[in-house]
Chain A
Amino acid sequence: MNSAPSTIISRFLQSRIVWPLAGLALLLLFNFVFDRAFFEVSTRDGNFYGPMLTVMRLSVVVMLLAMGMTLVIATGGVDLSVGSVMAIVGTLTAFLAVKHHLSFPSLLGVAISVSLAIGVFNGVLISCVGIQPIVVTLIMMVLGRGVALNITGGSPLQVVDSGVLFLGKSFIVGVPVQIFLVVLVFAITVILCRKTAIGLFVEAVGDNETASRLSGVNARGIKVLVYIFSAVCAALAALVSIGDAGSVDPDGLGQMLELDAITAVVVGGTVLTGGRFTLLGSLIGALLIQTLATTLIRQGMDSAYAPVPKALVILVVCLLQSQKFRAQIASLIGNFRKPTS
């Protein structure tokens, strides 16, 4: 084995977050050379503003979803319902605040309990009835969007609750509140996963469900738990999203965000087949995609074309994980080196 200092470096180089981090660094370098204004930070009323902070603000919703999605994907599943969960929670809380003047704590309570219920629903159907995750959460996606539309009859709503608006629009010591929320959720999740056995169990279930069950892991319980966690993350994302926008569109809220979350997780280095996962990687993945989009738009790309670079990132990440592609690149580099050496 290596000596002490090089182990740290080699461990870092072998970890999953190297590639997304390298991608992010490359983008920042590009901006540093061609668009120095990207790094400008201004203060207004003691609050920080600037392109970098905007990127972070824009990534928050996907980051929250991606953390839930990471654990779901680590168990070998997928959760397509998070966008619809966002729509239900966002519409319901806004509706209750407007019509019944509920206070913020009770709104938060409603949001958490609704998402808990959906999570249990998903989890039980998947783990106890044994239906494929993609089918269950697809059903929940269609059903949930219908429920969200039904709350208001499809018409948009204004967000009036000061607590929700605080989550989306305010600053603490100059930094947007939602960034603290992401850090808080991340810290809690990492502590729960890495300081208890939960993370290990999640990976065990994702790696080989039968083997994990035979060695005493409550595989069903773990699966239900990750879908609950994913739904709760979606509820938080909904509150941030409607607080930021100041209004709710039941049809558009969270639309297709499940795919952005999956993209962030995969770009972050967690493999879709389950097993090992990295929460930090997923956050970096979300940040990378948003930074790329913002960079290209600042370079003059039409924002409607944004899906194209996203597609290319997914493809590149997939290729980097493919052994065949790695071997091809390796032999290509080998051929390139031979004549010179």
Chain B
Amino acid sequence: MKQIFTRKNLPILATTFVLVLLFGTFSVLFDNFLSLRVVTDLFASNAHVGVVAIGMTFVILSGGIDLSVGSVVGFTTIFVATLVGKHEVHPVLAILLALLVGSVFGAGMGIFIQVYQLPPFLVTLAGMFFARGMAFVVSKQSLEINHRFYSAVIDAGIPLTDKVILRAPACIFVAVFVVALVLAHFSRFGRNVYAVGGNAASSLLMGVPVGRTRIWIYTLSGFCAALGGVVFTFRTQAGNATNAFGLELDAIAAVVIGGTLLSGGVGYVAGTLMGVLIYGTILTGIRFYGNLDSSWQRMAIGALLLVFIVIQRLLTRAPAREASH
């Protein structure tokens, strides 16, 4: 027990507490909220944010940021839809191509960031504009995806009980989470990510392959963003260049709620899962309430983020960390 309740674990413990509190409150307020179906829906309808946020976790752990993910999601949806709809490519091939494009795009940004020592904020900002623009180049019109494969994927899922099925997007989300968990905490790559985020200069001196790790991190984030886009198409069965506008900020918010510090080196992949679920619980709660419009949703998320960050800051009043140059 003592090992769990340490100062280091405080942020993620607080996140878990908030999630339980939120879910508990909604369960008391609304009938039918406390059910397996709501939980599986929570995973399914937030799968694309979740997948993207998990990729973002690695970037933020390394002390960077990736603003391009929302645009990459948008690009991927229209890219897959165009390949399947207009060029009659099989969806599996289209999806693999999209994942490749996303990864290569991420790697490209990583190379610029690493080789020329450019600020991640600006390189990924450029990446965000570029990917969004390219999405419009692919197609300005929204495009439906009609293919047997898609219908099959949408019907597929793991039956948990007689009535509740864990749908494909949720399965992908869970799978990505498990892989990321292993990658972050039980692999050399994961340790390198934490080392780079903790202190890039000392890591370099200690023989950590900082450059390679950084490029892989952005590749991973690009891959996750493309996968998020694929998941998005499973939900909407359509591609649109304007999809997932501003998703990068949702993803960053989920990571930050999850207790990962934007300064790098501190945080957990599990925290991000909590962050995404908190996000999703708020949205679901508001939907259960019924007549609330999206303005309340945003204010609730903003206010919650605020309260949470201030608490987190007060809890971890360690020596103030100056930005490293």
Contacts and interface: CB of A to CB of B under 8 A. Distances in A.
Interface of A: 76, 78, 125, 129-132, 134-136, 138-150, 153-154, 209-210, 256, 259, 262-263, 266, 272-273, 302, 304-308, 310-312, 314-315, 318-319, 322-325
A149 B136 contact: no
Given A130-B320, A146-B302, A273-B325, A266 B293 contact: no
Among A129, A141, A256, A314, find the residue whose CB has the most chain B CB atoms closer than 10 A: A314
Nearest to A144: B302
B256 interface: yes
A305 B136 contact: yes
Nearest to A272: B119
A76 B325 CA distance: 11
Nearest to A325: B116
A66 to B, nearest CB: 14
3 nearest interchain CB pairs?
A: A143-B302, A146-B298, A149-B295
Given A129-B310, A150-B299, A154-B295, A259 B125 contact: yes
Contacts, number: 140
Contact of B295 (A141, A153, A305): A153
Interface string B293-325: 111111111110110011001000000101101
A314 B262 contact: no
A310 B249 contact: no
A308 B138 CA distance: 13
A159 to B, nearest CB: 21
23 contacts: A78-B121, A130-B313, A134-B65, A135-B256, A143-B302, A146-B294, A146-B302, A147-B299, A154-B295, A302-B136, A302-B140, A305-B133, A308-B129, A310-B126, A311-B130, A312-B126, A314-B125, A314-B126, A314-B129, A318-B116, A318-B118, A324-B115, A324-B116
B134 interface: yes
B249 A142 contact: yes
A266 B295 contact: no
Contact of B118 (A256, A262, A308, A322): A322
A304 B298 contact: no
Contact of B112 (A140, A148, A315, A323): A315
B220 interface: no
Interface residues of B, number: 51
Given A138-B256, A146-B294, A319-B116, 6 more contacts: A138-B305, A142-B249, A147-B299, A256-B246, A310-B126, A325-B116
Contacts of B130: 307-308, 311-312
B265 interface: no
Nearest to B140: A304
A145 B127 CA distance: 24
A146 B133 CA distance: 27
A318 B126 contact: yes
Among B252, B297, B320, B325, find the residue whose CB has the most chain A CB atoms closer than 10 A: B325
A318 B134 CA distance: 21
Contact of A150 (B119, B296, B322): B296
Contacts of A262: 125
A135 B262 contact: yes
A302 B241 CA distance: 14
Contacts of B65: 134
Given A135-B309, A142-B249, A322 B323 contact: no
Contacts of A138: 249, 252-253, 256, 305
Among B112, B134, B298, find the residue whose CB has the most chain A CB atoms closer than 10 A: B298
A262 B121 CA distance: 10
B204 interface: no
A311 B119 CA distance: 14
B313 A131 contact: yes
Given A132-B262, A318-B119, A149 B294 contact: yes
Contact of B253 (A140, A142, A209, A304): A142
